[in-house]
Amino acid sequence: MIDKQELLRLYNLDLDELLKLSSKYVKDEIEFCSLINARNGKCSQNCKYCAQSSHYRTHIDSYPLVKIEEVRKAALDAKSHKASRFAIVTSGKTPDESDFDKMLEMIKEINKIEGLNSCASIGILNEEQAKKLAQSGLKRFHHNINTAKSYYPEVCTTHTWQDRLDTCKLVKKYGMELCCGVILGMGESVEQRVEMALELAEIQPNSIPINILMPIPETPFENYLDKIDEENVLRTLAIFKIANPNSILRFCGGRMRLSEENQRKALNTCVEGIMVGNYLTTIGKNPDDDIKTVHHHFFLDNRHGYIILYLDGRLSEKGGKETFRCCQV
């Protein structure tokens, strides 16, 4: 496995040279996923970036767990916008036991939709909860490390980085896929970005969601917009891909902080997944615009020896899992 000093050296290469290196590991497809914010607000944790924390007066609308019918409707809408994976996401440190059985039913409902894989992001798990999620048929569980272990106390003090890692281990123990990523721009150093890349390499998640901090008013990080610029986002994406060649890097919250040009550059060299639609407490792009971005991305590549193909090898609007494959010509 690549070591810290080598990743630091790569991080500081000429940007074009670095992106050329990371592009060697990019898979030939872009996957879409989506989510529903199934329970919002009133979280007991003090994560300094989060609008849902009860420690800060962020003036968000809190609501209890939504009904299963709402989840099914949102899942069908996600599929219509080319998502191949759909997640239920709830606020709180751990799953509320009074809601947990309902969450299991939501997962089963998502699994009934042909071509759509289930995912859940419902907090820190105990062993029994992980076992029940696997038994319900959950395909993938999402739980971020958020930042480097060495920086975590600067982000949250009501639980630990190890708590998050323990949940990731439980997910893998019970045979579910793991989605585990980070939030960039929370004041971490370049060295700590490298640490994140290596920590993820040890965890070996199937998917690594990349969020770029969108500062929320009234949170401790509300003035952190200047903690990372576009070039350093691209550099971080590149070293993440180099350190994690078998994991899918996925654009999630905050990617609109990048210019369209740099989003396309990332899609061409580092990133293989996009979360479409809105996120938890921030607004995303219109899903149709994301689809256009992917089409435009591969159209541009056509001039460099690439063409766009769907799974069946035709430009089509077939239902089911939609990934955009490219191949050299």
pLDDT per position as a tens digit, 240-265: 999 999 999 999 999 999 999 999 99
What does the pLDDT read at residue 234? 98
Predicted confidence (pLDDT) at residue 308 exceeds the cutoff of 80: no
26: which 2 tokens? 């990019």
Tokens 């076992």 -> residue: 131
Q: Per mean pLDDT, which of 28-42, 76-90, 145-159 is the most reliable?
A: 145-159
In whole numbers, what is the pLDDT of the chain averaged over residues?
A: 87
- Token look-up 């590991």 returns 25
Q: How many residues make up the chain in this entry?
A: 329
Give the least confident one: 20-29, 100-109, 191-200. Answer: 20-29
Give 301 or 202, the one with higher predicted confidence. Answer: 202
pLDDT digits (tens, 9 = 90+) for 154-172: 999 999 999 999 999 999 9
Single-letter amino acid code for the residue at 200: L
CA distances (Å), origin 247, targets 177, 208, 217, 259:
11, 7, 33, 24
DSSP summary character for residue 256: G
CA distances from 8 to 5, 163, 233 (A): 5, 27, 14
pLDDT higher for 318 or 191?
Answer: 191
Q: CA-CA distance, 189 to 122, in Å (whole number)? A: 29
Per-residue pLDDT of 57-69, as tens digits, reads 998 999 999 999 9
Mean pLDDT of 134-142: 98
Task: State the Cα–Cα distance between residues 242 and 208, nearest whole angstrom.
Answer: 13
Look at the pTM and tell me if it is higher than 0.75: yes
pLDDT at 301 over 50: no
Helix locations, 48-178, DSSP H: 68-80, 97-111, 127-135, 161-173
The matching CATH number, chosen from 3.50.50.60, 3.20.20.70, 3.40.190.10, 3.90.1150.10, for 4-328 is 3.20.20.70
Residue 275 β-bridge partners: 33
The stretch 181-207 carries a mean pLDDT of 98
Residue 279 confidence (pLDDT) = 39
